[in-house]
Amino acid sequence: MAELLHYPAVDSTNDEVIRLAQNGAPDGTWVVADEQTAGRGRRGRPWQSTRGNLFCTGLLRLDAGEGPASQLSFLIALALYDTLAQWVAPERLRLKWPNDLLLDGRKVSGILLESAGSGQPGDRWVAAGIGVNLAVHPEDVERPAISLAGAGVTPPPPMAVAERLATAVEHWRREWRAGGFAALRAAWLARATGLGKRIEVRMPDGTLFGTFADLAADGALLLQLDSGMVKAIHAGDVFGI
């Protein structure tokens, strides 16, 4: 059963959950903050933390029946999709590899997973950080962003979204335990954007162009290059072209 802890302000909801985890907090502990003073996204990018948006992190202690922590990015993305579909018509929402949720083709949320523990059964845990643009969204960013309000949707209270999100995460964890990554993969592909389309993948060591052919059994993006060769991409930033 999830327990949601509400804070007026924290440095980072991820950092607070990490502190709680190190002090023995149980699986399903969620931190929800009205404001973050040092919020961050993937690769250390700053995350704007304007009041009215959702900033939360869940503590997920993985058991022996759950797969690699890397698969959680797909699980959380599915939970986010289901959550926002409570307020937004589902056809306006799509998932973008590896873990973005798009509203009307623009980024509406971000996910940051940070794992720790020894890796042994019973000692694997992940701080699953989630930010959702409910009331406002940043301008002049590399990836066009949007908020629910900016899309003409009355923004719900952040705590109401957090409660639904925690429930949705538990639902997809049950699916994951029962069906493994195959269950997540099928559901993710049904909600994905860009399949069969030409994309640009930016990686630390260069940029590749090709067609988004499929999602591999381990979650890698399968990129068909112009040469016809298919390359598995495990990390990178995807842009449509």
Tens digits of residue pLDDT in 182-233: 999 999 999 999 899 999 999 888 899 999 999 999 999 999 999 999 999 9
Residues 78/90, Cβ–Cβ less than 8 Å: no
**Mean pLDDT, range 118-136, rounded to an integer:** 83
Residues above pLDDT 70, as percent of the chain: 91
46 pLDDT exceeds 80? no
For the chain, the domains span 3-190, 198-240
Give me the amino acid identity at 46.
P
Residues 8/35, Cβ–Cβ less than 8 Å: yes
Residues 110/85, Cβ–Cβ less than 8 Å: no
* pLDDT, tens only, 154-188: 999 999 999 999 999 999 999 999 999 999 999 99
Tokens of residue 189, six digits: 């592909």
Tokens of residue 220, six digits: 């890698």
143 pLDDT exceeds 90? no
Tell me how far apart the alpha carbons of residues 88 and 93 are, in angstroms, rounded to a whole number: 8
Q: Which pLDDT band holds residue 240 (cuts at 50, 70, 90)?
A: confident
21 pLDDT exceeds 90? yes
Tokens of residue 63, six digits: 């058991």
> For the chain, what is the radius of gyration of the CA atoms?
17
E strand or H helix at 16, and its extent? helix 13-22
Edge-to-edge strand list for the sheet holding 206-215: 230-233, 221-225, 206-215, 198-203, 237-240
Tell me how far apart the alpha carbons of residues 122 and 67 are, in angstroms, rounded to a whole number: 13
Residues above pLDDT 90, as percent of the chain: 74
> Do 3-190 and 198-240 have matching folds?
no
The domain made up of 3-190 is a member of CATH 3.20.20.140: no
* pLDDT, tens only, 53-93: 999 999 999 988 788 888 999 999 999 999 999 999 999 99
Say which CATH topology domain 198-240 has: SH3 type barrels. (2.30.30)
Residues 193/102, Cβ–Cβ less than 8 Å: yes
Torsion of CA 200, 205, 188, 198, to 10 degrees: 20
Tell me how far apart the alpha carbons of residues 90 and 208 are, in angstroms, rounded to a whole number: 31
Tell me how far apart the alpha carbons of residues 233 and 2 are, in angstroms, rounded to a whole number: 34
Q: For the whole prediction, is pTM greater than 0.85?
A: yes
Residues 58/164, Cβ–Cβ less than 8 Å: no
5 pLDDT exceeds 80? yes
Given this model, what pLDDT does residue 219 score? 92
* DSSP letter assigned to residue 219: S
- DSSP bridge pairs for 211: 198, 224
